[in-house]
Structure 1
């Protein structure tokens, strides 16, 4: 027998999408319940210990997924209050105006969105205020129009990174200050470490928990239930509206009923929940008349690049303050787009040890001391056969990488540029399927119910009280971090729900 609960609005997931929905709806007067599968990240010595994080993998989930060949792998998909944002690099880049339009790449076309940049622009501003973004305008040649300045000045370059910035300027590039959701003073006061890929135990990073969720939970009508594993959505008697959700907590089964349901479990898990919720009337899963749920999975093509100058020592602590978009819309020689480049958090010997376990520690230490570390990111194009399946309670992720011509071109181009800038040794290593941190595209939005699951406000075409608000709604991945775009769309959707009084 299941225990029954009720709310006006149910939000499933407390990552960027769910937390920003909660923040946007927190003053609506409606009762809002957020279900989160994980618990709050505890403060512990592991949180700033690179060996615990990268070598011992203390924080990685215990679950296993399968790939298209049936081989199991352990995904880097985190389950805590705040979701994957607890480990994110806090980069809050806007998508560029042309990212919302058809854009031709070497291996295909990135499709247009059902909304344009200017539909989202005021919500980008609101999200930047919510996450207290530090940034500077006027440095990036691809920068879209901003109707407001960043709330705070940029996080300063450390001396070694300021020198790297100058090297890149001298070879004709336009390095820009990354917009970052980080209070660097608070972060470093706690411990002198990078923040990228480090868990945030509420010590200076503005993520889904510390920015949006904290604002929402300040309202008495908003509540959070942790350790709540949602298994499926329930339909009402006529099969058109979502009645609520079934979840398990501490071995006990619950059903929570709500007038409005927001699914924000992440692009992979939101698709899995919809597919697991299949009924006789909806055998392909809920919100899936079009058949697109679970399809068009995208995850940025990404490579780590170490630029090494044995003559120079990199003594930076956090490092991650620069981005490069000179090859975002073309290769600099009249060719198609290549992608974005940005600094990684400072790479230390324990971080390298996670991938190079056979290399002696003293070699890795010397390598780390003389390297500046970069993240190269290219757009992954939507393919209907790149998809999420469910097999009982197991997730099968059949990711078909696309647009690798562009990504290989970006790697080659950056090797050329970095060598020209005076780095004699340049090493590169691609990220693998264990890092689905920029997952998107599995519950895409659009105008046509035949080719999309959601309308432009992320409302399901098939179910008038269901919204899916995480990176699953994105019809393209662009080539920059998706967090700010998810936050902006969530605030836009929350405003739409309130303005149409849909939750009443």
Structure 2
């Protein structure tokens, strides 16, 4: 059985970033990835392949609380969910780290403050080459430095949208985006700012994803090993049940076992919870690290709405994700509770409509759908999903994930939708058209849109109400950590990726101290092409 200093299960925003941080330590590090390298192929930018045929979506079947099967929007590749994310890299607001009252419930406080997390946010923005402008967003928390790169400029129709919002008294801002631009005068910066970013893989390696900017640089160190097609299925402990001694892996159909002084789980909120639950033993009868009965509970994934408005004039924008609006993040007109974030998403295309509404569009001529796409302006509305103990991940007898979920904050989500609808006229958009879209959910079963899943192994100071301590170590085990978004006690209303990256760097610093090494944090490094 091979032994390592650190085993990291999962290579996404949490696990990949942690590997990048620890790579210079010289310690033996094993990365376990359930999937493979995502192939660079023409289909990467084929809308029908990506959004209709779900080419890059796992074939997994999960089940809802009624026993109905669905295909979740999960991606098992080196880089995890970041391979197809939109690279919108927001910080949580300072207030998100404290207790917040919502219309439909309470968002709990974190065991760490924004001020404690801030240095790691800055490091993560540098590592993932984030573009943005400080001071434009009225809810922006304090930062110790500027963004590493200036904000992406708006294309003409989005600039007009920004100007119209500002004229109406709102405060639009340039969204923080992680892309690698050729205008940086760097030979590896090759983003062409096309419409194939949000929800697509990038064959140019121009998206700031965990494969490109974390895993590949980490693998340049001789002490880091990556094993693909390696599905961790169980963790085993010592006789006292106080430390993980073996990671049991299904590697291409064969059982293999690996040992390490430190084991880090970063398989995604649902799969990390599943792994701990599947690791039940006589000493841990309800699952590993689960004497509190909190593993799998408090599942959150944002109350997200992808909507399309029709512009009175053509929208020829290619890269649409440059604008955000947080005026309603904490309250709105006549509604003294948080509503959420509004941002742009990738430009919609005719094949997306056919995938979303096959019956309604079956007889529609291609030119008609193309005309809709030409005038479409696409928004993403995100409202905080509140943690509820009964919203949870469990595992069926045959090993399938079961997701029991009910919306926790629907009033705020509805108010945000109607707020945007009320603003359409001021943005030169048809006031009677705000159309729900399902392409970004991959299906019209709401719980299948799990891209922002979080909360199933929350961290906290009280072992009775949390799974992990403030360093993301399991309360009950000496060497088990969780660094994906499972640790979130609340999710805020902005994309969670940057927070997962920042926290991985924070935990990485802690682990480096535990391993007896000290060195400077990794700087942004060109990702090697495969």
Bigger Cα displacement from structure 2, 206-215 vs 434-443? 206-215
Match of 1:80 in 2: 77
Matches within 5 A, 1:412-423: 412-423=418-429
Q: Which runs of 4+ in 1 moved over 6 A?
A: none
Q: How far apart are the structure 2 equivalents of 1:167 and 1:370?
A: 17
Over 3 Å counting, the alpha-carbon distance change for 1:165 and 1:258 in structure 2 is same
- Do residues 137 (structure 1) and 147 (structure 2) align? no
Give a deviation string over 1:450-472, Cα, whole Å, max 9, x none. 00000011000000100000000
Q: Is the 8 A contact 1:20 1:212 kept in 2?
A: yes
Q: Is the 8 A contact 1:260 1:503 kept in 2?
A: no
Q: Is the 8 A contact 1:376 1:410 kept in 2?
A: yes
Q: Is the 8 A contact 2:164 2:426 kept in 1?
A: no
Where structure 2 has 5 or more consecutive residues not aligned to the other structure, the ranges are 183-188, 519-530
Task: Compute the TM-score of the two structures, normalised by the length of structure 1.
Answer: 0.96
Q: How far apart are the structure 2 equivalents of 1:12 and 1:476?
A: 23
Match of 1:483 in 2: 497
SS of the residue 2:130 aligns to: coil
Match of 2:255 in 1: 253
Match of 1:198 in 2: 200
Q: How far apart are the structure 2 equivalents of 1:228 and 1:196?
A: 27
Q: How far apart are the structure 2 equivalents of 1:154 and 1:388?
A: 38
Shift of 1:271: 0.2
Match of 2:466 in 1: 452
Match of 1:399 in 2: 405
Match of 1:492 in 2: 506
Q: How far apart are the structure 2 equivalents of 1:106 and 1:353?
A: 37
* Paired positions, count: 499
Q: How far apart are the structure 2 equivalents of 1:400 and 1:487?
A: 28
Match of 1:298 in 2: 300
Q: Is the 8 A contact 1:139 1:176 kept in 2?
A: yes
Over 3 Å counting, the alpha-carbon distance change for 1:188 and 1:26 in structure 2 is closer
Q: How far apart are the structure 1 equivalents of 2:166 and 2:110?
A: 34
Identify which of 417, 428, 433 aligns with 1:426.
433
Identify which of 348, 361, 380 aligns with 2:385.
380
Shift of 1:156: 1.5
Give a deviation string over 1:49-70, Cα, whole Å, max 9, x none. 1111111221121111100000
Q: Is the 8 A contact 1:187 1:205 kept in 2?
A: no
SS of the residue 1:492 aligns to: helix
SS of the residue 2:419 aligns to: helix
Shift of 1:421: 2.8
Matches within 5 A, 1:10-409: 10-185=7-182, 186=189, 188-189=191-192, 192-309=194-311, 311-333=312-334, 335-358=336-359, 359=361, 360=364, 361-391=366-396, 392-409=398-415
Over 3 Å counting, the alpha-carbon distance change for 1:268 and 1:502 in structure 2 is farther
Give a deviation string over 1:112-151, Cα, whole Å, max 9, x none. 0000000000000000010011111111000000101000
SS of the residue 2:261 aligns to: strand
Task: Compute the TM-score of the two structures, normalised by the length of structure 2.
Answer: 0.92
Q: How far apart are the structure 2 equivalents of 1:273 and 1:142?
A: 37
